[in-house]
Structure 1
Amino acid sequence: MKAMLCERFGGPEVLALRNVADPPPPEAREIQVRIAARGVQYVDVLMLVGKYQFRPDPPFIPGGEAAGHVVAIGTDVTDFAPGDVVMSRHTLGACAELGNATAALCDKVPAGMSLAQAGVFRGAYTTAYHALLQRGRMRDGEWVLVHGAAGGIGIAAIQVAKAFGVRVIATAGSAAKRAACLEEGADHAIDYRSGFVDQVKALTDGRGVDIVYDPIGDKVAEESLRCLAWGGRLLILGFLGGGPTNIRSNYLLIKGIDAIGVRIGGLNENEPALAATNMKALVTLAKQGKLRPRISHTFRLDQAAEALQVVIDRAVIGKAVLLS
């Protein structure tokens, strides 16, 4: 089969299309998928440079989420059959024509969702759902401030929040990205680059927001603390802004704020049953038309380096996908 190999640590240029051996037959609880679509994630960028918490040694095939057709099943698999169209989760290996995946981490693609959309669904939506509903304890009628709102997990957060009756303020750095946030359901979209506290306070009549959803970190996180109302929750999802911030504990004390870390990999590893339940709920919401991945860039498998570069350049609105 053909696969994109990371042959040494580095930037997107280290990827090369190679002919490699097909994966072995699926183990008892696995399925084998002929992959048609793969989501492109910032996690892949970190993995290529050896800076992700899971650090495989080259050569390896990157890619953690995909969609395609089942071609074989393990002896203990009862929920899938050859020919089923599925969304699959992989530790590695999605950037290939074939891949094995644990059956419990796969779901059938709901009617009305394309293979391209299915290939980018799992990572973004499971992150947003777990962050907002479980870590953030989001309730109907609350206000949520979503940073990086035009990215994959940002748009997912907008859609999940609106599905549960929450008012959303989205931040993004360009007019096109802010327009996309409004199209996806945000109540307001603001430019955060010259400061956003006054804008958030004005939109909430001085009260502030209940939840900040923050994959940016750095100075954005510190300013976000000033936007939170009493009992607010700061959800820490990552550090795309260049690194973590030093949380000022006086803000937490005075306003009764919770600063909460969110790592979907940690949920998958430590609470797999809850992770599976969450995915079932998300598939139901997708069937109802409440969740719909937005794809701004489509590439072929052999263009994986180009796809990762547009992610690095923050040119993507929603998700980028690699198609066979």
Structure 2
Amino acid sequence: RYAVRLVRLDSMPGPELALPGGPFRLRMKAFGSVDNFQAVPLERKQPGRGQVEIEVAAAGLNFRDVLRALGMLEDYERKVGARLGIRSALDAPLGFECAGRVVRVGEGVEHLSDGDEVFGIAYGSLASHVTVDANWLARKPSAMTMTEAATIPMAFATAVYALEQLAQVKPGETVLIHAAAGGVGQAAVQIARAAGAEVLATAGQGKWDLLHAQGVRHVMSSRSLDFRDQVRQLTGGRGVDVVLNSLSGEFIPASLSVLSPNGRFVEIGQLGIWDRAQMAAERSDVAYFPFDLDDEESHQPGLIRSLLANLTPRFASGEIEPVAHRAFPLERIGDAVRYLTLPSRVGKGVVAIAPDVVRTSCLPIGEVHADAAYLVTGGLGGLGLHVARYLVERGARCLVLCGRGGPATAEQFEALERLRAMGARVEVIRADLSRRDDVRRVLETIRREMPPLRGVIHAAGVLDDAMLVFQDWGRFERVMRPKVAGAWYLHELARDLDFFVMFSSGVGLIGSHGQGNYASANAFLDGLAAHRRALGLPAVSIAWGPWSNVGMTSRMDERARTRMSDVGLHGVALAEGLEMLGRLIRQAPPLVAAMRIDWPRLAATFPPAAAWADLVHSPTHVRQSPAAVLEQIQNAPPDERL
């Protein structure tokens, strides 16, 4: 039957995209999910007259890529398929813009040469190589990185065409830019301000500070229609001269209601937009410009070349600059496309395709850096202090250890001094993680006084064991609040992390007598990890088995340890567990169980649940790290060490 099942980690397919050895391109295995990309061999195409071939270094992503992955651009699939002779929509080329290096030049191309670093619009750019019309490319300014250049083509060409050529924005006019923190929005803010216009913007509230810093004085919510009254008030009831719209539904008539008589409405949305007849029926005085750059180029050959030529000297002079972006390695293409759907996204998503670009532009998952801060909740517990030392040994130089109390024992004070002697700044902040205000205070302290927070390890937890018939809500709440509420508030409030690790428990997967409250709390962490991954955010929930002589296990009496061993549960050695932690931070599915279990013995004690029944009869491969073997030898009696 269908049920959640545990499988050995080394038997699972990796979460990353597998790449062939030679040239490749991306295609969709199926529509409906951003995780359905696959890399297939590419037959490189000799450039024809007026074309060049690019070795792609980085590709910019657009919301159109999301719609393509979900199978929501059928008209585009048909149009491109007819042009290229492609019968299957799944084989339509992926990617619309890139930066890279010219490797072959066709006849008649005079403005580009082999070896030139370029950026431009290139359909099929999610590939190692792409052959494209040379007129759709421009030379990359030498001071600009490849990932920066990949943010330019679609966003800035769209903004320049919309505001300078269609709306013809003039100094002193007012322009309402919706979704102003996105890729096109960020480009449009710069283009409108360069034209001397006053910008009114909408964006998610978390992005308002960014727009204020860019000189936009009036920022409103893009999540409600409240902007109508605010725009009327700001313009004295007259309305704005230009609307640059990318929103749909009720936002369209709402935006029209604040557009001045004879104003210009430029539509760059993809779905749910109005046709010209609808607009004429609603506001016949408005100049309406819905457009798609591809269609405009087909009616105005040379348009894209002129737009890119317009941009290059402006970037070189510093009049405008590339938008903020987040770069992902190609192997994480699913996360990269998913990032475009996040409410917290700012600017562009970029896929780094060339290996050297990946190394310089994409922070490896789970890397620990000296110029970043790391938060460990439950940081003064026995396990938390060992985790803190592990981070410092791997290069962390700023740690925040958080818990309800401060250091109280000689062991805690000594551990903190050892960490500081290793060159780390270690701050202990007392906080109740079940209180949102306390979590906010901790994060604000880090933002104000320390390097950027780049990693969270949520290791807080308490026990209050009893059979369910003896439990009450107070006992459930005592166990669940630090784990559940603490994890959720950290999820909501901590941003731009390289890793988000939650210490869960195998109890949530295989159960344990008297620990229903603890199992429930840890099951929530497991679900939260999956939720964050679905949002394109880093997360792993590690369902630990018992540790040897550290953490909660260290407080067990000998009878409890014997009972645990009798049912097949064995402790994870400290060195082995920390080594596993390092591997799982770098790459792991959202939920991993890290336990040493004799499955047949466990099955002899408890009826096998569907989740782990398959492991009872599967061969067991215990891979011990060198550190774990050394610790095992050191702890063994002398006569057993040989």
Aligned to 1:294: 323
Q: Does 1:9 align with 2:41?
A: no
Query: CA distance change for structure 1 residues 220 and 214 in 2, over 3 Å: closer, same or farther?
Result: same
1:44 matched to 2:65? The reply is yes
Distance across 2 between alignment mates of 1:3 and 1:34:
12
Deviation at 1:17, TM superposition (A): 3.0
Q: 1:151 aligned to 146, 168, 182, which one? A: 182
For 1:103, the equivalent position in structure 2 comes to: 134
In 1, Cα distance between equivalents of 2:334 and 2:240 = 39
Q: CA-atom RMSD, angstroms?
A: 2.0
> Could you say which residue in structure 2 is the equivalent of 1:30?
51
What SS does the aligned partner of 2:47 have? coil
The one-letter amino acid paired with 1:78 is E
What is the aligned counterpart of 1:203 among 221, 234, 251?
234
**1:173 match:** 204
How many Å apart are 1:22 and its aligned residue?
Answer: 3.9
- Higher helix fraction: Structure 1 or Structure 2? 2
Shift of 1:215: 0.6
Q: 1:262 aligns with which of 275, 284, 291?
A: 291
Aligned equivalent of 1:128, options 144, 159, 170: 159
Q: Which has the higher strand share?
A: 1
Q: 1:251/1:25 Cα in 2 relative to 1: closer, same or farther (>3 Å)?
A: closer
Name the count of aligned residue pairs.
Answer: 317
Alignment correspondent of 2:173: 142
3-state SS in 1 of match to 2:115: coil
- Match of 1:294, SS state, is coil
Does 1:184 find its partner at 2:214? yes
- Going from structure 1 to structure 2, the CA distance change for 1:30 and 1:239 (only over 3 Å counts) comes to closer
Alpha carbons 2:148, 2:323 under 8 Å: kept: yes
Q: State whether residues 240 and 258 of structure 2, in contact with CA within 8 Å, keep that contact through their aligned partners in structure 1.
A: yes
Alignment partner, residue 229 of structure 1:
260
8 A Cα contact 1:8 1:59, kept in partner: no
Structure 1 residues 265 and 60, CA gap change in structure 2 (3 angstroms): closer
Report the Cα offset of residue 103 of structure 1. Answer: 0.8
Residue type of the alignment partner of 1:252: R
Which letter does structure 2 place at the counterpart of 1:156? A
Deviation string 1:115-173 (CA, Å, 9 cap, x unpaired) is 11111211011111111122212111100000011111111110110111110001012
C-alpha deviation, 1:238, in angstroms: 0.9
Q: Name the structure, 1 or 2, with higher relative contact order (CA <8 Å, separation 6+).
A: 1
CA separation in 2, counterparts of 1:137 and 1:50? 35
Show the counterpart of 1:321.
350
Unaligned runs of 5+ in 1: none
AA partner of residue 300 (structure 2): E
Residue by residue over 1:175-227, the C-alpha shift from the partner in whole angstroms, topping out at 9 and shown as x without a partner, is 2x222222333232112425111111222233211001101121111111111
Q: Distance in 2 between matches of 1:64 and 1:251?
A: 34
Conservation of the 8 A alpha-carbon contact between 1:297 and 1:320: yes
Q: Distance in 1 between matches of 2:346 and 2:309?
A: 26
CA offsets 1:91-117 (integer angstroms, 9 cap, x no match): 2x2111111111111110123322111
- 1:36 alignment partner, SS class: strand
Q: Indicate if the aligned counterparts of 2:25 and 2:127 stay in contact, CA closer than 8 A.
A: yes
CA distance in 2, matches of 1:183, 1:97: 37
Following the alignment from structure 2 to structure 1, what is the Cα–Cα distance between the partners of residues 125 and 344?
A: 22
Could you tell me the TM-score, scaled by structure 2's length?
Answer: 0.47
TM-score, normalised to structure 1, is 0.91
Quick check: 1:217–1:236 contact (8 Å CA) kept in 2?
no
1:213 corresponds to 2:205: no
Measured in 1, the distance between the counterparts of 2:100 and 2:128 equals 10
Q: Is 2:151–2:325's contact at 8 Å kept on the other side of the alignment?
A: no
- Provide the secondary structure at the position in 1 that maps to 2:209: helix
Trace 1:269-288 onto structure 2 (pairs within 5 A).
Answer: 269-288=298-317
Contact 2:137 2:308 in 1 (8 A): no
Task: For 2:107 and 2:253, locate their aligned partners in 1 and report how far apart those are by CA, in whole Å.
Answer: 52
> CA–CA distance in 1 between the matches of 2:46 and 2:281?
56
Amino acid corresponding to residue 278 of structure 1 in structure 2:
L
Q: CA deviation at 1:251?
A: 5.4
1:75 to 98, 107, 110: 107
Shift of 1:301: 1.2
Find runs of 4+ consecutive structure 1 residues off by over 6 angstroms: none
Indicate if the aligned counterparts of 2:102 and 2:114 stay in contact, CA closer than 8 A: yes
Counterpart of 1:58 in structure 2 is 90
Which whole-Å deviations, capped at 9, do the CAs of 1:9-51 have from their partners, x for residues lacking one? Answer: 2221210234x03412222221111111100111112223343
| Residue among 106, 110, 117 paired with 1:85 | 117
Letter in 1 for 2:118: V
Secondary structure class of the residue paired with 1:66: strand
Q: Is the 8 A contact 1:296 1:320 kept in 2?
A: yes
- Shift of the 258–28 alpha-carbon distance from structure 1 to 2, 3 Å rule, reads closer
Paired AA for residue 71 in structure 1: V
Q: 1:43 to 1:248 in 2, by over 3 A?
A: closer
Contact 1:216 1:239 in 2 (8 A): no
Alpha-carbon distance in structure 1 between the residues aligned to 2:98 and 2:220: 32
Contact 1:4-1:304 within 8 A present in 2 as well: no
